[in-house]
A and B are shown apart, each in its own frame.
Chain A
């Protein structure tokens, strides 16, 4: 071809993009699917697709620095005699000792304490250090029942029956052998160094009728003191919420697909479940139809990053949010200061998700004593507390601008959507219109 003839630039396929090609090559080379931590990374309709309208002639704002905007929330007031009283509507999601270092678990407790909120155990049981450093600790009741015992049930401040999580609704888990040191193995009653599977179903109940009896048993063992949460992954939020309420839950925890996990197949994380944005309104609708809105509290998690996200979730009708990935970032996970070490692991700061591998240079998702010692629980706890404080201030800023003297007074009417998809999922009007797709409004 003549050198002077204009040529079309080489074009990469949108379907077979470089990431897809690299995964095909990796699969062809290894014969095994990709396992990683964290939640869905693909672009999804999210809370960035919503905007608050703020006050105007028809809405009266509150003075930003002078008028009170409440943030407290009570979780578990339906049946429990000692519900959780939180200063802020942001809780720390369940993450296990085993997937996280002891230092990281301690830091989560310290940060939550300073902010006046709760933290949560994970698959693997409750450690004494975690209990000691967490003023309000939610004890997860998982299918594996690793480390489950009645003494810890009674030591807990609330119990969370985990049916599923957003990163893998319908899936169990696996903690790879390199993170199973002697202590983790002992807590889980399994040999040291083997891959530990976590079941996807509870061993002694199936379905909502059984769950109701299981909740009865847990209440009897704990003298009806502890709030019972039921956590579900975002898949059928309307029905799951209704069934959890029917089964007797005090609190429903709803985790969208951006919610993180310690380890699961990438294909599962990216292709199963609902975006968090799509979960909230169906769940709230179920509560409202059952006359249980604000009586059974709704906690939403999965990709909550800032005070705007908090305010939007609450405006859609939830009572609180829960954070996991963001808390780890606040403590130092994926910090660019560690870029050299992330490069050595074949990744880059911001993309590191091999949380299952136990080689976290930040000392958070590891059981390696030397790596774990890098994380100062006091410093990391303070960072988390700061972050929680900022999120709360941001949410208050928005609420005041909308004329609300409590975060719970935010409402869907305060919101519009930037995209048709977000408008349909959040059931709020497309910005500049009165159109709420999917509702006939």
Chain B
């Protein structure tokens, strides 16, 4: 494993080193030491690397990730894995708000809790949260799945499009146009597969499913009270 000391090298040198690696590289395993909450660590990776970050990270860690597997051995600041395209990002601790925001693909696993707006405007990513999520999570969520093993705060899935939400615990309230839906066999199977990929030990049968009622897909003045 190659080691990069962020404190000694600086952010540009660390990210530049990782960006310079081509997809066919043999130098796949990397460890970033002394992150000390710095922002934008390991953002914009595009090769299938395995990056371990030894500590807490600031905003936008692994933002726009493609193909890489990034593990944060600590807590993550705002927007971890924002706009991720593919790959895997795992946070061993908790994540701040807007985790996985607008992300198009890949898997984001937060083993602890996630704050508000988790999965906001998500566009295809799968997010598995071992704990609970804060208010306005999955706001305007377009596609992909958000799995919450704990509780969800108020206004879950407000103005949701086609994303699938699974919550094991309590939902404080559902947002506009978000409704509970039947948990059919295919959903249970998909959820089991997702939990297994995430390495989270939970029974899919304990979850409830939520999604869009699709009543806001075309603006209708009679729906104005919903906003």
Contact = CB atoms under 8 A, between A and B. Distances in A.
Interface of A: 30-32, 144-145, 148-151, 153, 174, 176-177, 188-191, 194-195, 197, 199, 203-205, 210, 213-214, 216-217, 220-224
Q: Which of B16, B78, B83 has the most CB of A within 10 A?
A: B83
Interface stretch (B115-123, B167-175, B180-188): B115-123
A60 to B, nearest CB: 49
B101 A203 contact: yes
Contact of A205 (B12, B19, B79, B121): B79
Contacts, number: 103
A145 B121 contact: yes
B221 A32 contact: yes
B98 A149 contact: no
Interface residues of B, number: 42
Q: Which of A177, A188, A221 has the most CB of B within 10 A?
A: A221
A223 B66 CA distance: 16
B110 to A, nearest CB: 15
B143 A205 contact: no
Nearest to B59: A213
B85 interface: yes
Contacts of A31: 221
Given A150-B44, A150-B64, A213 B142 contact: no
A194 B159 CA distance: 13
Main SS at interface, chain B = loop
Nearest to B98: A204
Contact of A213 (B15, B39, B101): B39
Contact of A174 (B79, B219, B221): B219
Interface string B147-190: 00000000000010110000000000000000000000000000
A371 to B, nearest CB: 22
B61 to A, nearest CB: 9
Given A174-B219, A191-B161, A216-B39, A205 B78 contact: yes
A7 to B, nearest CB: 44
A224 B44 CA distance: 12
Interface of B: 11-12, 15-16, 19, 39-40, 43-44, 46, 58-60, 63-64, 66, 78-79, 82-83, 85, 97-98, 101-102, 104, 117, 120-121, 123-124, 139-140, 142-143, 159, 161-162, 217-219, 221
Contacts of A177: 217-218
A190 B142 contact: yes
Nearest to B65: A150
Given A149-B85, A197-B140, A203 B102 contact: yes
Given A190-B161, A194-B218, A204-B102, A216 B40 contact: yes
A191 B162 contact: yes
Given A145-B102, A195-B217, A213-B58, A150 B143 contact: no
A221 B102 contact: no
A216 B77 CA distance: 15
A210 B124 contact: no
Contacts of A176: 219
20 contacts: A31-B221, A149-B64, A149-B83, A149-B85, A150-B44, A150-B85, A151-B46, A177-B218, A188-B142, A190-B162, A191-B162, A194-B161, A197-B159, A203-B117, A213-B58, A213-B59, A213-B60, A217-B43, A220-B40, A220-B43
Contacts of A195: 217-219
A176 B101 CA distance: 24
Given A190-B142, A203-B139, A221-B44, 8 more contacts: A30-B221, A149-B104, A174-B219, A176-B219, A189-B124, A213-B40, A220-B44, A221-B64
A149 B79 CA distance: 15
Given A204-B120, A223-B19, A217 B59 contact: yes
